Amino acid sequence: MSIERIPWNQYFMLQAKLLSLRSTCTRLAVGAILVRDNRMIAGGYNGSVAGDVHCVDEGCYMVDGHCVRTIHAEMNAVLQCAKFGSATDGAVIYVTDFPCLQCTKMLLQAGIKKIYYLRNYHNDPYALKLLKLKQVEVEQVKVDAKYLDAVLGGIEPEN
């Protein structure tokens, strides 16, 4: 009997989704995983600068329709590589929501060669233009419900 293994893109996307559960943003919980050669090299979620208050504690700090307190998940993942000396050039990213324009530009400058995302989120036309210009592939990942059931199977909810 052979065991059906979860495809890599769904495996890493579920890792990004799991990481999003650490988010301290009350508007949108996002997780991101940087991967090279099918190995995770860094992860990030959206939240405040370490040591600052969090949106879940004091609400979002809104300026011009954006929370300026929050560092995006993609940026936190790339910054983790910078902090611990892992190269990002040639890596791919799995992110729960399509990257904003600023994160797209940052990912391009970091040498990310492919972006996998779970959900569309204000997909910026200029970001799409830049991705095409730099020939960076973008792929939406659909997670098969059977893998969600396999992950959650047998887990009893806490009371």
Enzyme catalytic residues: 74
Instruction: Tell which residue, 23, 34, 141, has the closest CA to residue 88.
Output: 34
DSSP code of 48? Answer: P
Burial (CB < 10 A; 0-12, 13-18, 19+), residue 4, is exposed
Contact (Cβ atoms closer than 8 angstroms) between residue 104 and residue 81:
no
Question: In 3-state terms, what secondary structure has residue 135?
Answer: coil
